[in-house]
Structure 1
Amino acid sequence: MSLQLRLLMNLTAGSLLLAALAYDWLGNLAHELIGTAMFGLLIAHNTFNRRWYGSAARKGGRDLRGWLNIATIATLATAMLILLITSIIISRSLFSALPIVSTFGARLLHAQAAYWALVIVAIHVGMRWSMIMTSMRYWLRLGSPNAGRTWVLRIVALSIAAYGVHSWMIVGTGSRLMAEMTMNFWNFEEAALRFFLHQGAVVGLLICVAHYTTVWLQRPKRPKQ
Structure 2
Amino acid sequence: MSEWKVKRFWKAARTAAEGDGFAVLLDARPIKTPAKSALVVPSEELAKEIAAEWDAQEEAVNPQTMPFTRSANAAIDKVAIQHDEVAEMIAAYGDSDLLCYRAEGPSELVARQSERWDPVLNWARESQGIDLKAVRGIVHKPQDALPLVRIADRTRQMSAFELTAFHDLVMLSGSFLLGLAAVESYAAPETLWDLSRLDESWQEEQWGPDDEATKAAEIKKAAFLHAARFYALVAGQG
Fold shared per TM-score above 0.5: no
Pick the TM interval, shorter chain: 0.3 to 0.5
Higher helix share: 1
TM-score under structure 2 length normalisation? 0.31
> Larger radius of gyration, structure 1 or 2?
2
Higher RCO structure, 1 or 2 (CA under 8 Å, sep 6+): 1
